[in-house]
Amino acid sequence: MSKHKDDDDDFSLFSAEFSGIKKLTQDSILLSTKNTKKKQFNQVAIVADLETEHFSDGFEPLLAEQGPVRYCRDDAGKYLLKQLRRGDFSPEIILDLHGLTQLEAKRELGALIACCKKEGLYCCSVLHGIGTYVLKKQVPLWLAQHPNILAFHQAPLEFGGRGALLVLIELEDWQIKREFEK
């Protein structure tokens, strides 16, 4: 009996608090979407195709089979891998690929590399996760094919561990000088 009375008291208190409230009217704005979506989609598709031209699913570069995932371009310093492993570089931008398909992940990866080149970002992190191992396997293969990637290594625990990579992007000389002047 007392529980039923408490429920009635709660309902009366609630009703008293919200007694003078009126329902809001909803504004409706109708936009014409006939031509704008098609133009926008075409532009996005063209940019995505340009960014992913370096990534092939058929080519598998030779990566180390033992130990953590790692890669260093031939003309890059071998000390870079050790620095990446130790976490000497902290990522300036992070890309999270969780929940994306392979095609979406490939496009986002291409966009990340283009963004890093444009903004002069030397180190980035790619969170691919572990999940079903599809992106964990493919992302290093795609990165190793791109000409602007100097090196990458499995991220230290503070940056994602086995589910992430730290990536070093090759920058132009004028971008490197600007970074050291800061």
CATH class as words, domain 36-181: alpha beta
Does the pLDDT of residue 123 top 90, yes or no?
A: yes
Return the minimum-mean-pLDDT range out of 63-67, 94-98, 167-171, 176-180: 176-180
Alpha carbon of 122 to those of 92, 102, 112: distances in Å? Answer: 7, 25, 12
110 pLDDT band, cuts 50/70/90, is: very high
Does the pLDDT of residue 1 top 60, yes or no?
A: no
- Where b means 16+ CB within 10 Å and e means fewer, 62-75 reads eeeeeeebbbbbee
Give the residue with greater pLDDT, 17 vs 33: 17
Q: What is the pLDDT of residue 45?
A: 47
175 pLDDT band, cuts 50/70/90, is: low
pLDDT, average across residues 23-40: 62
To the nearest whole number, what is the mean pLDDT of the chain? Answer: 81
The model's pTM: 0.67
